[in-house]
Amino acid sequence: MRIHWFPGHMKKALRVMREQLKMVDSIIYVLDSRAPLSSINPQFDELIAHKPVLYVLNKSDMVNSDDILKWQRRFEKENKACVANNSLNKGGGKIIINKLLEINAAAIEKYRNKGVNKTIRAMVIGIPNCGKSALINSLTSGKKTVTGNKPGVTRGRQWVVIDKYIELMDTPGTLFPDFGDEKKALNLAFIGSIKDDILDINELASKLLDCLTSLGHGNKIAQRYNLQSETSSKAEMLRQIGLSRGFILKGGEVDIEKTAKAVLTDFRKLAFGQIILEKA
């Protein structure tokens, strides 16, 4: 399944982000906890090369806490600052702010020695639908940015004042111009970082069922849809799911497209439980 989605606004966003790097002290790199590795965009390598970076494993409530901890340890072993965050948990904001101040300690001390209180400005980057705007909103007393559950909601630069000495620059979610790794592309499609509209939704759902089965979650699929028999064909499994859900077209055929959309929605809404697609 060949996936390619790099609309013009993403190309423009990357150019603008490079131009605005001189305005920020550090980077907050937001990753989706369901697919941390796939959330790392090679296009951002240049952006983060010479700035302190805080990696945030966002949507941490969507995966098992043990898996989150393993990923945090992996980042720490690579000498990368990392915190886990559930943007719906108001208490998580303090952890992010404290870690942001920690990675900017050298700059803060430099200005303090000059008798100046340094205002830390951080650029928030990430793939589409990773929860950047929701994360920023959780750090403020009220909603300051536009959020949505579809990739591509944030289109331009937005400055958000967190407190007197911390400002964040929100940026549009940006993907890579080309997916050389099909598995990474699929993971991003599964979690909703690539628009469903440009994908073969039936094939994507079959691939998701195959992925979840290979990860050992076949029993969760069977329980969810009350499947009585196993099948190695994910197309056949999709048909059985449609029968179980009653998605029948006139003439008695299964509505495969409706079934496929239901499977993807169920995964994204944790109907199969907390599942991580990439182990640390």
What local confidence, expressed as pLDDT, does residue 182 receive?
Answer: 87
What local confidence, expressed as pLDDT, does residue 33 receive?
Answer: 97
249 HSE (CA, 13 A, CB side)? 9
Out of 3.20.20.120, 3.40.190.10, 3.40.50.300, 3.40.50.10860, which CATH number does the structure's domain 8-170 have? 3.40.50.300
Alpha helices (H) in the chain, listed in sequence order: 8-20, 45-48, 65-77, 92-103, 105-112, 132-138, 182-190, 201-214, 218-225, 234-245, 256-268
At 155-173, the pLDDT tens digits run 445 788 888 899 999 888 8
pLDDT class of 258 with cuts at 50, 70, 90: very high
What local confidence, expressed as pLDDT, does residue 91 receive?
Answer: 66
- Joined together, the tokens standing for residue 162 give 């967190």
Percent of the chain with pLDDT over 70: 86
Q: Quick check: do 8-170 and 200-268 share a fold?
A: no
Beta carbons within 8 Å of 140's beta carbon, 6+ residues apart:
160, 162
Query: Listing from the earlier edge strand, what are the strands of the sheet with 53-58?
Result: 81-85, 53-58, 26-32, 120-126, 166-170, 158-163
Q: Using the predicted structure, report yes or no on whether residue 253 has a pLDDT greater than 60.
A: yes
22/202 Cα distance (integer angstroms)? 44
Q: Where are the domains of the chain?
A: 8-170, 200-268
202/236 Cα distance (integer angstroms)? 12
Q: pTM of whole model > 0.75?
A: yes
Q: Using the predicted structure, report yes or no on whether residue 245 has a pLDDT greater than 60.
A: yes
Encode 187-200: b = buried (16+ Cβ within 10 Å), e = exposed: bbbbbbbbebeebe
In three-state secondary structure terms, 28 is strand
Summarize the confidence of residues 30-40 as an average pLDDT. Answer: 96
Q: Which of 39-53, 132-146, 192-206, 225-239 has the lowest mean pLDDT?
A: 132-146
Rg (CA), the chain: 21
Q: Return the DSSP state at 155.
A: -
pLDDT class of 143 with cuts at 50, 70, 90: very low
Classify domain 200-268 at the CATH topology level: Conserved Hypothetical Protein Ylqf; Chain: A; domain 2 (1.10.1580)
Query: Comparing 77 with 195, which gets the higher pLDDT?
Result: 77
Amino acid at 252: G
266/73 Cα distance (integer angstroms)? 30
Q: Are 61 and 135 in contact, with CB atoms under 8 Å apart?
A: no
Q: How many CB atoms lie within 10 A of CB 74?
A: 15
What local confidence, expressed as pLDDT, does residue 270 receive?
Answer: 97
Query: Comparing 117 with 134, which gets the higher pLDDT?
Result: 117
Q: Using the predicted structure, report yes or no on whether residue 147 has a pLDDT greater than 80.
A: no
How big is the CA angle at 117 (ends 116 and 123), to the nearest 5 degrees?
125
Summarize the confidence of residues 75-101 as an average pLDDT. Answer: 88
Q: Using the predicted structure, report yes or no on whether residue 200 has a pLDDT greater than 70.
A: yes
